[in-house]
A and B are shown apart, each in its own frame.
Chain A
Amino acid sequence: MIVDGKTLLISTGDFSPTSLDHSRELGVIVTDTSTLKAVQALFSRDVAGIPAQPTPIPSPTVALPTPAPIATDTPLPTSTPPATDTPVAITPVVTETPQLLAPGPTATPLFADVTPTKIVLPILP
C-alpha cells in the first residue's frame, strides 16, 4: 500500500480482519524515495496492464557486507542473546554435511526423497 506517494507498507498480511487480528504477520513501513518510486512504477504498470519485468527495488539503507562463510573446522561462535521478551533456547547446530547439495554429478536433487505432496499456503480471506 502506497499512501500519498510518501509511505509504503510492505507486509505479509492481507488487508483482512483475520490478518490484522488473528494471524502473525510482519510488515515494514518504508519512506525511502527510490524504493517508493520503484514500487509506484510497478503498481502503475499493473494498473495499466503492462507486462513488467521484475523490478529490482533498491534497499532503503546501505547494504552491509556479507559475512564470510564459517569454515567447517572452525568452532561455532557463541550466540549473542537477542533482545527478546523471553530467553531463547539455542539448540546446537546440526553439523553433518548436507547430503542433497553435495557437489558432483551424483548429487541427489533436492526433494528427491520426499513424497511429492504439493504444499500451497492459502491466501487468507
Chain B
Amino acid sequence: MRSPPNAVFGALQAARGRHVMVRLVLEQQPYGMGSYAADPAYNFLQTYVGQVRWGGQLAFRYTHASYLVADGARTFIGSMSWTDTGLGANRELGLIDTDPRVASAGERVFNADWNQRKLHSAPNAVVVSPDGARARILKPDCNRTQVHRHLHRATHRSGDNPRAYRVARLWPASAGGYTKRCLAGLSAPAPLQVTIVRQPYMDARA
C-alpha cells in the first residue's frame, strides 16, 4: 500500500502519462533546512512527475502554499504538507473547491510564481500571502506584532457583549517559545478556551 505522498505523486505521474501538463513550484530553502533537503525532492519530481521550478524568491521569502489546480476547474487548498505526517498523521484541513473563479485565481497566483513575477493585484477569490492576506484576515489596526493582541481584545469584548465570543485555539503540546508566548497572552480572558491536543498533531489552520 502506498504512503499518502506516494499516492499523490503517483497520481500526478499518471496524469503526466495522460499528457496532462504537470508543473510544480517548490521552496528551495525550506525553513530550518537548506537546499540539501529540497534538492532531492526537486530532482525526483523533475524526473518522474513533472516540470519543476523553485519558488519566486524575488516576490516573497518562502513558498509555503500547498495547493493544486486541476484542469482549470478544481482547486485543492489545504493546511497539510504533502508528506507522511501531513497527509497521514496530523490533524489537517483541506478543501476541494469547484468554483471556477477560485481555480482561475489559483492559476494566476501559480503562473506568477512560476515566472518569478510579483502579483500586481491579488485576486479576490482567494486569500493570498503576502499579497493582501493580512488585510483580508485582520483589522487594519493590526500591525505585524498585533496579530495576537487583536484576538486578545476580541476575547475581552465578549465580557460586555451578550453574543459571547468563543475563541478556541489548539496548539501542539510540543509548541516552542513563540507559541507559548502567544498562548500566555491569549489565555488570560475567561471566554478563551485553549485545548492542548497531543494526538493527533494539530496543524490545521482552519
Chain A positions near chain B (C-beta within 8 angstroms): 1-2, 8-30, 35, 39, 42-43, 46-47, 49, 57, 59-64, 67, 69-70, 72, 74, 76, 79-80, 82-91, 93-95, 97-101, 110-111, 114-115, 117, 119-125
Contact = CB atoms under 8 A, between A and B. Distances in A.
A88 B44 contact: no
24 contacts: A9-B206, A12-B65, A13-B129, A16-B147, A18-B31, A22-B130, A24-B59, A24-B62, A24-B63, A26-B77, A26-B126, A30-B97, A60-B97, A62-B98, A64-B74, A70-B18, A84-B115, A110-B10, A110-B13, A120-B81, A120-B85, A121-B81, A125-B31, A125-B178
Given A24-B129, A83-B104, A123-B203, A17 B147 contact: yes
B115 to A, nearest CB: 5
B11 to A, nearest CB: 9
Nearest to A12: B65
Contact of B6 (A89, A93, A110, A121): A110
Contacts of B179: 125
A23 to B, nearest CB: 4
B32 interface: yes
Interface string B86-106: 100001011111111010101
Interface in B6-37: 6, 9-10, 13-14, 16-21, 27, 30-33, 37
The DSSP consensus for interface residues of chain A is loop
A42 to B, nearest CB: 8
A98 B48 CA distance: 7
Interface residues of B, number: 98
Contact of A57 (B51, B95, B126, B144): B95
A100 to B, nearest CB: 6
B106 A86 contact: no
Interface of B: 2, 6, 9-10, 13-14, 16-21, 27, 30-33, 37-38, 40-41, 44, 48, 50-51, 55-56, 59-67, 71-75, 77-79, 81, 83, 85-86, 91, 93-100, 102, 104, 106-109, 111-115, 117-120, 125-130, 133-134, 136-138, 144-145, 147, 168, 170, 176, 178-179, 193, 195, 197, 202-203, 205-206
